[in-house]
Copies of this chain bind each other. A is one copy, B any other.
Amino acid sequence: MNKSTEIQAQKETLRIETFSDGVFCIAVTLLSLEVGVKLNDEISNKALQQALLDEWPIYLAYVISFVNVLLAWIGHHGLFKMLNKTDNSIMIINGILLMLVALVPFPTKTLGKFLSTDAFNTAVIFYTGYFVLISIAFRLLWFAAARKKYLLVQDITPQQIRLTTRNENIGLICNTVILGVAFINPWAALVLSFVMWVYWIVFA
């Protein structure tokens, strides 16, 4: 009986993760809907070439968000791999995290539309601030999981827990610093994001 309850709990955890995966996967693919060109006046090869080149802020926003959501997905999976059971707090925080991830197309299109305009500063602050929110949700998710030992898989080591705590903290701090920089110099903030990616890809 105890054994079958255990398996049931693992199945439920897997199920929540599968649903979450679906949200990450759809959100990341929906980003593409915002990308497209229009020609208003003259339709010619020259005009289309120019229009395709003029879309660079949209492409840049697409690439940045795609990588961010992909890294968030990898982080989410790494976190759920350590979970054996879920409780109410985890369900609620995970729901809030999904709500934020599903809405990533919104800051992305805002960034893409206003990156080359006078509203540039606000767009970058909004975008980087949005990812601070996502980092906070991740940090809370891990807090809710790590605080109760019986929610984690049995063969987890204290080192693994410490490492994850450290990673989540670094993620939150980095994103907050990037937001801070965005207030002073928006381009420096975007460059810092790239640097942070390299860090994650090499170390995690």
Pick 6 A–B contacts, CB within 8 A, sort by A.
A22-B29, A23-B25, A33-B105, A43-B117, A45-B122, A48-B114
The answer on a CB contact under 8 Å between A121 and B45 is yes
Asked if A140 CB lies within 8 Å of chain B CBs, one says no
Contact of A33 among B15, B30, B43 (CB under 8 A): B30
Interfacial residues, chain A to chain B (CB-CB below 8 A): 15, 18-19, 21-33, 35-37, 39, 43-45, 47-49, 52, 62-63, 66-67, 70, 73-74, 77, 88, 91-92, 95, 98-99, 102-106, 109-110, 114, 117-123, 126, 201-202
Q: Which residues of B contact A99 (CB under 8 A)?
A: 62-63, 66-67
Separation of A44 and B122 alpha carbons in the complex (Å) = 9
Number of this chain's copies in the complex = 4
The answer on a CB contact under 8 Å between B30 and A103 is no
Separation of A77 and B39 alpha carbons in the complex (Å) = 38
The answer on a CB contact under 8 Å between A102 and B32 is yes
**Extra 8 A-B pairs, beta carbons < 8 Å, given A32-B102, A63-B99:** A18-B21, A33-B105, A39-B119, A44-B118, A48-B122, A66-B99, A70-B98, A88-B202
The answer on a CB contact under 8 Å between A102 and B66 is yes
The answer on a CB contact under 8 Å between B118 and A45 is yes
The SS class assigned to the A binding surface is helix
Most buried by B among A15, A102, A110: A102
The answer on a CB contact under 8 Å between A43 and B110 is no
Contact of A106 among B35, B48, B110, B118 (CB under 8 A): B35
